[in-house]
Structure 1
Amino acid sequence: MVNPREMLDIIELIFYVPALIISIFVSARHGFGRQLGWIFLCILSIIRLVGAVTGIASIRNPSEGLFEATFITNSAGLSPLLLAMLGMLKRVHDGMPIGKGFSPRLFNSIHLPTMAALVLAIIGGTKSFNPDIDTQNTGRMLIKVAVVLFLVVLIVLAMIALVTFSKIGHVVHGERKLVFAAVLSLPFLFVRILYSIIAAFSSPNSKVFSLVSDTKTVVAVQALMATAEEFVVATIYLLTGLLTPVIARSQVRRQGPEGYQVPSNQGRVVYHAEDSHSMMRMNRRD
C-alpha cells in the first residue's frame, strides 16, 4: 500500500519530469546563462526529481543516507525559485532606459546571500542526521539561519518586483510578462517560505510540520503549503519563458537612453521601452 509521503513523491515525479524537459527547452531558447534565470528551473526540477526518487527508495529500503538525501533536497527548493525570479528581474532592468532601472550590482549582491542560504541549508541538513546531539542542534540552527536569509532575499525581491511594476511603462513591451510573472508568484513564494520558517523553528517531533514524517497530517500540510506553491510558481515561470520574446544577447551593444541597442550593421530586432507604436524595428546597413 502506498503511504501519503510516497504518494506525494510520485506526484512530484509526474510534475517535474515534463517540467525538466520544458525548462531545458526554455533555457536553450533564452540562453543558459545563470543571470537569465531559466537555468534555475532546470536545477529545481533535478533537485525535486532526486528528492522524489530518494524519498520513494527510503520508504521501500530505509537507510540513513536516503533519509538525509531526501531531507536536504526538500530543504533546497527555495533557492532555485528565488534565483529564477532574480534572473528575470535583472533581465528586465538590463533592458530599461538608463536611470529608470536598478544597477546590475544590486542583483549581483542579492545572488550572494541566496547562495549562502543554500549552502547553510545543505550543511544544516547534513548535520541534522549526525548521531551527536550537539551537532544536530548546530544543524538545526544553520537551517534556521538559512530560512531567515531566504525570507530577507524574498522581501528584497518583492520590493524590486513591485517597484518595477510601478515603472511598467519603462519596461520593454515584450518583457513585461516577466514583471507580471514575478508579481504573480509573490503570494505563493511567501506561503512557501512561511512553511519553511515554521518547520525550521518547530520541534523536531512536530506532528504538523516535518520533512520526514509520513503521517497524513504532515504530508497534507507540506503538500498544501510547499509542494503546491512550488508547482504554481514553476508553472508561471515556465509559461512566461515560453511566451517571452528572445533577445539576441550577443548583439546587444549597450544599454542606451531608450533601452536595448544593437550594432547598426546587424539585421536584428531592436527593442525600445518607450515606443509603444514601434516595438520592433529592423536596423540594417544601407
Structure 2
Amino acid sequence: MTSLDQRGDIAAAEIAFYAIALCFCVLNNIRHGFSRKQGWLLITLFALMRFVGSILVVVIQQTSSDNVSLYIAEVTISSIALTPLISATLIFLIRAFRFYVPESSGSSLHDIAIRVLSLILLASIILSIVAGSQMSNYTDDSKVSSAIMLSHVAVCLLTGVYGVIVIVTGLLIFSPYSAPTTTTPTMLLHAIALSLPFLLVRIIYSLLSAFTLSVATGGYFGSGGSKFNNITGSWQIYLGMGVIMEFAIIIIYVVCGVLLEKFDSSQQRRPSNLESLDTAIELENKD
C-alpha cells in the first residue's frame, strides 16, 4: 500500500466532506421530497458522485492500480458530476421563477424553454460519458481527437445553460413584479445568486481543462499535459478552482435546504395582474 500524493489527500478530504454533506442532503430530501423536480435529489446525486469518485482516486493511489477501468470511471464521474449541480440550480430557479412571474405571462413558452434546457443538459451528460470512454484509449490519436471534440461540446453546452441561469436570475432580482409573500422563493433566489460566482469559477476550470487537452499528450491520461488537466495537472489549481468551489456551492444549497420552509405546491403559480384585479372586484362586490 503506497502513500497518497497531494491529489490523494484532496480526495480523502472530499470523502470526509461529502460523507457529512450526504447526511444533510438526505435530510433535505426527506423534508422537501425525493422527486427530481424538487432539485434536492440532484444535489444528493452530485454529492454521491463526488464521494464515489474520491474513493476511486484513493483506491487507485493506495493500490498502485493500473486498472484502466478505474481511471475511466473516475474521469467519467468527474466529467458528468457538474451536470447535476447545474441541473439542480436550474430547477431551483424554475421554482423561484413561478412565484415571481404571473401564470399568464407566456407560461407555454417557459415550459418549452425548460424542456430545451433539460435536453441540453442530458446531451452534455451523454457526450461526457462517451468522451471519457474514448479518452481511455490514449494511444489511438483518432479516438483521443474525437473525445476532445466531444468534451468541448459538452462543456460548452453546460456553459450555455449557466449563461441562461445568470440572465434569468438577474431578471428576477430586478423583477418588475412584486416580491412573493412567502420567503421560500426569495431564499432560493438568494442561494442561487450566491452560488453563481463559485459556479462560474468551476465552469471556467472545466472550459480550461477541456480546451487545453491535446492529442499529442494523450488527452486526460497522457503525461505532459496542461496544468488544467483534471488528472495530471496542477493540484493547486484543481483545489482552488474545482474542489473548493464545489464545497462552497454545496454548503450554500445544503444550508438553504435546512432553513427553507417546506414548499406548498399549490402556491407555486402567482396569479396574473388581471386575475388579481378580478379577485379584488369580486371581493368588493361581496362587501
TM-score normalized with structure 1 length: 0.83
The residue aligned with 2:271 is 257
Query: Aligned partner of 1:88: which letter?
Result: F
1:222 pairs with one of 238, 241, 246: 238
Output one character per residue of 1:218-254: Cα deviation in whole Å (capped at 9) or x when no partner.
11110100111111011111111111111243xx288
Partner of residue 107 from structure 1, selected from 90, 104, 114: 114
Q: State the distance in 2 between where 1:184 and 1:227 align.
A: 17
Distance 1:239 1:136, change over 3 A: same
CA distance in 1: counterparts of 2:133 and 2:94, whole angstroms = 33
State yes or no: 1:22 paired with 2:24: yes
Opposite residue 114 of structure 1, the aligned amino acid is L
Task: Give me the whole-angstrom Cα distance separating, in 2, the residues matched to 1:85 and 1:253.
Answer: 20
- Secondary structure of the 1:16 match is helix
Query: What SS is found at the alignment partner of 2:269?
Result: strand
Distance change >3 Å, CA 194–CA 254, structure 1 → 2: closer
SS at match of 1:169: coil
| C-alpha deviation, 1:59, in angstroms | 1.2
Aligned to 1:36: 38
Match of 2:59, SS state, is helix
Contact 2:99 2:268 in 1 (8 A): no
Q: Determine the structure 1 residue equivalent to 2:125.
A: 118
Counterpart of 2:216 in structure 1 is: none
1:86 matched to which residue of 2?
90
Uncovered stretches (5+) of structure 1, i.e. residues with no partner: 260-271, 273-286
List per-residue Cα deviations over 1:19-70 (Å, max 9, x = no partner): 1111111122111221221111110011101100111111123221111111
Deviation at 1:100?
A: 6.0
SS at match of 1:14: helix
Is the strand fraction higher in 1 or 2?
Answer: 1
1:98 matched to which residue of 2? 103
Asked if 1:154 corresponds to 2:162, the answer is yes
1:142-221 to structure 2, matched below 5 A, reads 142-167=150-175, 169-174=178-183, 175-203=185-213, 204=219, 205-213=224-232, 218-221=234-237
Looking at structure 2, the residues matched to 81 and 190 of structure 1 have their Cα atoms a distance apart, in angstroms, of: 12
Over aligned residues, Cα RMSD in angstroms?
2.1
Is 2:8–2:57's contact at 8 Å kept on the other side of the alignment?
Answer: yes
> Hey, what does 2:81 align to over in structure 1?
77
Structure showing the higher helix proportion among its residues = 2
**Length, aligned pairs only:** 255
Native 8 Å contact 2:4 2:61 kept in 1: no
**Structure-1 separation of matches of 2:164 and 2:77:** 24
Distance change >3 Å, CA 89–CA 207, structure 1 → 2: closer
CA gap 1:134/1:3 in 2 versus in 1, 3 angstroms = same
CA contact (8 A) 2:105 2:272 kept: no
Which amino acid is the alignment partner of residue 35 of structure 1? K
Match of 1:139 among 143, 147, 150: 147
* Higher deviation after alignment, 219-228 or 73-82: 73-82
CA separation in 2, counterparts of 1:179 and 1:254? 14
Offset at residue 206 of structure 1 (A): 2.4
For residues 177 and 127 of structure 1, the distance between their equivalents in structure 2, rounded to whole angstroms, comes to 42
